Amino acid sequence: MPAPMKVYLAGPEVFLPNGREVIEAKQALTRRYGFEPNVWLGEGEPPPAEPFAFGLYISAANEAVMRDSDLIIANLTPFRGISADIGTAYELGFMCAMGKPAFGYTNDPRGYVERLTGDFYAGKVEADAEGVLRGTDGLMVEDHGMVDNLMVDGGIDRNGGVIVRRRVEPARILDDLGALEECLGIARDRLPG
């Protein structure tokens, strides 16, 4: 039996009040689908205490884990705004550059244009003289029928994945794992081993 593929589980769970439990639940679910959730085991040395140095340490650790992972599953649920967590977007690009399989999921079933138009511009968008839809600040309202920015959806599509969308109870938007589970099932079916 081959070793299980290693998954980089990207997402903003570390910021949740119940972050540790949610991360452990994600890892357990990942194992149940035959994958190994990849984690940083440390280097023996204690991490630096100074905040900037500590941030660099975590960033380097995450990149090391990504290089050691076979695929990424990214939680793209909007975080502190209308788009996915920006650290997760960076990590998705990082894995896509290496050509590794990439999957995503979101607990907001709406597309980017719906969140932008409805949540950010409160419905106040208008076509300009050339027919381009713009918000009250003049910025273009792009609509590619995608979950988020085209680089996010495009990277996942090109690396063999899908983005699973779910509607969940509002109180569970950042920790419901139903969409992750569906995503793991699809990844298991699509990938070798």
Task: Report the interface residues with its own copies, using CB under 8 A.
Answer: 14-17, 19, 51-52, 54-56, 58-60, 62-63, 66, 80-87, 89-98, 116, 120, 128, 134, 138-140, 142-146, 148-155, 157-158
What is residue 192's three-state secondary structure?
coil
Q: Are 184 and 29 in contact (CB under 8 A)?
A: yes
Closest approach of Cβ 40 to its own copies, in Å?
14
Kindly state the tokens that stand for 103.
């999957």
Pick 60 or 122: Cβ nearer its own copies: 60
Q: Are 164 and 186 in contact (CB under 8 A)?
A: yes
Closest approach of Cβ 99 to its own copies, in Å?
10
Pick 116 or 187: Cβ nearer its own copies: 116
Closest approach of Cβ 35 to its own copies, in Å?
21
What is residue 142's three-state secondary structure?
coil
Burial 89-119 (b: 16+ CB within 10 A, else e): bebbebbbeeebbbbbbbbbebbbbebbbee
Distance of CA 157 to the CA centre of its chain: 14
Pick 58 or 185: Cβ nearer its own copies: 58
Closest approach of Cβ 62 to its own copies, in Å?
7
Pick 80 or 169: Cβ nearer its own copies: 80
